[in-house]
Each structure stands twice: as C-alpha cells, then as structure tokens.
Amino acid sequence: MKKLYFLLITFLISATSFGQVINEVDADTPGTDTAEFVEILWTPNTSLDGLVVVFFNGSDDASYLSYDLDGFSTDANGFFILGNTAIISAGDLEIPPGGSGAIQNGADAVALISGNASDFPNDTPISPLPMGTSILSGVVYDTNDGDDTALLAAIGGIQYNEDENMSKDTQSVQRNMDGTYTVKNITFRASNDAAVCELSIGAVNAVCDNITSGTDTYTATIAFTGGGTSTYTVTADSGTIDLSMGNPSTDASGTITVNGVNEGIDVIVTIQDGGLCDIDTTVSAVDCIPALTLPISEDFTYADGPLVSNPNWSNFSGTVEDLQIVSGQALVQHGSPSEDASIAFTPVAGDIYFGIDFTVQDPGAVISGGDYEYFAFFKDDSFGFSGRLSIAEANTPGNDFTVGIATDSSTEDAIWGTDFSFGTTYRAIVRYNQTTNISELWIDAASDTDTSILGADLDDANARTISEFGLRQSDSSQNEGVLVDNLLIGQTFAQVLSADDNFQIREFSIFPNPTNTGEVNISSVNASQITVAVFDILGKQVKNETISNNRLDVSNLKSGIYLLRLTQDGATSTKKLVIR
C-alpha cells in the first residue's frame, strides 16, 4: 500500500506542475510577416481538445482572432504550432489559411484558454471573460509600444517588447522555466533554454600596411557582437592578436585585430571559451602589390585559360574568367556571356597611349551595323571609358571590316578611311589627351606624323584621369573574335610603336628555362637592378625580390609553371618560367 500511495502522489505532482503554456510568440518577422507563429508546449502526444487560442487587440482590449484546437495534439516533443504557411508542418494549424500577417505587432496579447472559438467572436472583451472559460497561459507583447494596462490586468505579468534588442525580425518572445518571458533569438520548435554560443562574427576585412615591391604585411580585422557573456581565448595562426578595439570577454561588441600578417598568407583566428563557443574565422590574404608604372609591356605569354587568372589583370564587369588566353594571345570573343577585364597602373598627366597588334577572326560574314563593337579602351578608376577602339562596317560593301575611334561614345566618332581583312594582323595605336579630352587613332604607323583620325573633341572640363587599360567582349552584329597581342602602354608614341622595336626591357633573357637547378639567370641590356615578382599559375604571389647579380633563387618553388613580373627602370614585362 505504501508504494501505491507514493506513485499516486508522484503522478499528481507531475500533472499539476506542467500545464499547457504559450511557449514562444514571434509577431514581427521580415517583409510581409510570412514567418509569424505561436508555439504551445505541453505533454508530448497529448490532445488539445477543449482549448482555444485567442488574440487580443490592444486598441480596444478585445479579441480579433480565435482558433479552436479541437482535433489537434502536441507532437513527440510536446510542441504545437500556429503559424504561417511557409513554416508549418503536418499537424500544425495554419494562420491565417493561405495568408500572412495575421498576428498584430502590439501592444497586443495572445492567450491559451479553456473553451471554444465560438466563445470568442470578434471584439469579445478580455474582461470579463465569457462564462465557463479561463486563461491557462498568456503573454502581452509589443514592438516599441506603451504598456496596455487592461491586457496586463487580465493576463498578468509584464509587457514584453519584441524589439528590445533592436532585432525584432530575428528574435521572439520566449517563456522561461520560471514562467516569465524574455526576448532572444528565435528557437522555433526547440527548447527556449537550449544553450547556444552567443558570440557572433560580423564583417571580416584585410588592409595592406604598406604597398612595396618587397614582402609587405597586412592588418586583419574581425567584427563581433554578443560578447561579454563568457571568458574567451583568442588566437591566430599568423600575426599578432590585438584586442584594444574590442575584447569579446568584456565587450558586447567590437573588432578583433590581427597585426603583421605577411601578404599572400591567409590567417585563421580562433575564439574559444572552453564550452559552447569554438569559432574559427579565416581572413583571406591580400597581395600588397604596387600599381604598375608606365611604360608597360604585356605580351600575353600565359598558359591557355582565363586572362584574369594572370598577374595584373582583373575583372571589373561581366562574367568572370570568360575572356581567354589562347596560344599566347588574348581572345576577345564577342557574344554572350561578356566580360570586361583591365590592367591598372599609376596615372600620369597629359597624353597617354596604347598600342596593340590585333587580328579579327573570320566570323563567316562581313561586319555589318554599328552595335557597340569596341574592344579596347582606356578607363578611369570608375566606369568612364575613353579612347575606344572598335570594329566597324567596311567603307566598301562586301569588304570585311574597318575600325573606328571614339573619345567617349560607345559608337565611333570617326571611321578609318580604308578597309581591312579578316585573318590579317594590324597594329593600332590610340592616344588620349587627359587635358583636352580628345582621342586619336593610327593604324600601322611608323610615326605620329603618319595618317591618323580623331575622335570627338569634347569639353576639357570633362576629361578623364586614366588609370587602366581594358579589353571588352560583348554582343555584336557578327560576334567575331579579335586576337590581341603585344600590348604597350606609355606616354609617347615611340613607347608604343612596336613590340619588336620598343622597350629594351622586353629583351630580357631568362636561362635556363625550363630549369631544375634551383636558380635562373635574368639578363638585360642594361645593368640596373631588376625587381622580380613570381606568381604561381593561380595568380598568387610566391616570391618578390630585387636582384643585382642577375640570379634568382627558385630552390623553394615546386615544379610547375610560374609567371615572372620583371621591373627595371620603371618599365615592366611579364615572362613565363617552367620549373622541373
């Protein structure tokens, strides 16, 4: 008998200590409130017959919605959800059917009541309640509204602001074990008291400390919120940790800094508290490479593949890696998808020139129409284009094509007077004057006194400061391909005249190449120091040094193809190196 009494007492205590409760309410969600819900918690797999959920409007302290729970049950974990279509599962109750935004944002209330929906037609006052009904659980909430005394008097407790942490779209009002409520991150269909790591990582950034031809360092920063709740250990696999701008152990928010990380090396920052929090954040390395200076020589001696995978070239518009290197030339293949790629340099004043060898491949029909077929140009540090070189419809019907120049327009200001043939290589030289805002074009010229055509003479005040040369491929009338080679950029006509007759720096000799000796010799026609930057096939800088004895140590480099960017007396060239 004693054992039976004990079991009966235990059952009675369990039955009275855990009642049906409003466990969580999320009334204000992103957009048009398509993720609203009310979560009820009770004994798992238990019928909810005889219960009704009633929503009360704080404007008149009367009901505006009621949902009968007859026929519904809690799930295997004791949860039952009234919510929008997007978040509910089988066995839940959709509110409103096929819609959203039913739950008002406050000051309002929701209550779980013993009774039926028929007891609460719209505008039923919260006090007094209809005869035979009683509130089992309820909560009064708002989103930055004043307290509603009538609702509080009927339901009890205090009024909870879903936006008290300024995160109403991602937080909800949740019941604590002691019967009070709190506002924190949504725990939909899960325990409100489940322990979580409260520290969150925000923006991650990396900035060069210096930009030189040698090995530079950069500073990494990691923003955080949710700090001050535990004691954290912060470590980094490179550089030095600095918590002067924010310590997650003591500050609610701030910035973790890592100083002195070598360029080209990613840094991993680890934040641990010995318990719930174990966070690894990788800051991607930056390459602190100085901008090229004029004159520049580019002969496209790269492996076949995307142009922008190689040193100095970057995408600034369109589909990344669509513009290709083919057999040591850049292929501007008009059509879809498109890409704009550029090579940047330090701006200069006055005249600026580029020279290229170009070959238009036969597209199967002569070029017709004028549909934005410019393919080479100068560019400022935004999206201002100048000196646009374009393929144009031939002067004589039936001929293949001609070329044109535009100072600013996407269509030609002037057309070359003679026509050209597919499959033949021509050398174009373009000048843009950054003071007078005018462009000029020569074809196969030996001197700047040879025949040329001028683009529009535009307002001097609108002249651009040029900092990049670009190649462009886009849709055109015939979607022809244009092979580009032997790019030279300079400040005089002579500097861009010819790939063979110009820069002495292009006469670098690299030997042995391929090499397996651990070093290469780099010779030039003059004795000035040579700065060598070495890039792997992915474009990552792996070595940077200045040599004066013509020998470059490559013993620490693995077998493969590398690109050498050689700079001497202000001029730059790129060569390929193979290590076996």
Tell me what pLDDT residue 16 has: 32
Question: How far is Cα 225 from Cα 197, in angstroms, rounded to an integer?
Answer: 11
Which is higher by pLDDT, 393 or 569?
Answer: 393
Same domain, 221 and 107: no
Q: What is the pLDDT of residues 548-559, one digit of tens each?
A: 778 899 999 988
Tell me what pLDDT residue 213 has: 65
Same domain, 120 and 263: no
Q: Determine the 3-state secondary structure of 122 from DSSP.
A: coil
> Taking 90 as the threshold, does the pLDDT of residue 259 lie above it?
yes
Q: What is the pLDDT of residues 501-544, one digit of tens each?
A: 444 444 677 888 888 888 898 887 677 788 898 888 777 788 88
| Paired tokens of 131 | 């005869």
| CATH at 260 | 2.60.40
| CATH at 532 | 2.60.40.3080
| Side chain identity, residue 82 | L
Same domain, 91 and 152: yes
Report whether 470 contacts 387 (CB < 8 A): no
Tell me what pLDDT residue 507 has: 60
Buried b (16+ CB within 10 A) or exposed e, 275-304: eebebebebebbbbbbebebbbbbbbebee
| Contacting residues for 271 by C-beta, under 8 A, at least 6 apart | 199, 224, 232, 233, 234, 248, 256, 277, 278, 279, 281
Same domain, 307 and 446: yes
What percent of the chain has a predicted confidence (pLDDT) above 70?
93
Report whether 301 contacts 574 (CB < 8 A): yes
What's the rounded mean pLDDT across residues 481-501?
87
pLDDT range class, residue 580, cuts 50, 70, 90: confident
Same domain, 26 and 126: yes
Same domain, 169 and 217: no
Task: Give me the residue label for tokens 């719209």.
Answer: 122
Q: What is the pLDDT of residues 267-279, one digit of tens each?
A: 999 999 887 788 9
Say how many domains are in the chain.
Answer: 4
Same domain, 375 and 345: yes
**pTM, entire model:** 0.51
Tell me what pLDDT residue 370 has: 60
Which of 254, 283, 312 is the C-terminal boundary of a domain?
283
Question: How far is Cα 112 from Cα 130, in angstroms, rounded to an integer?
Answer: 14
Q: What is the pLDDT of residues 213-250, one digit of tens each?
A: 667 899 999 999 999 988 999 999 999 999 999 999 99
Same domain, 311 and 250: no
The verdict on residue 175 lying in a domain is yes
Which of 133, 150, 185 is the C-terminal boundary of a domain?
185
Same domain, 470 and 343: yes
Same domain, 128 and 59: yes
The verdict on residue 40 lying in a domain is yes
Same domain, 134 and 224: no
Q: What is the pLDDT of residues 467-476, one digit of tens each?
A: 999 999 887 7
Same domain, 108 and 35: yes
Q: What is the pLDDT of residues 80-116, one digit of tens each?
A: 999 988 889 999 999 887 777 789 988 999 999 999 9
User: What is the 3-state composition of the chain as percent helix, strand, coil, each rounded to the nearest 5?
Assistant: 5, 45, 50
Give the structural domain span for 552.
504-579
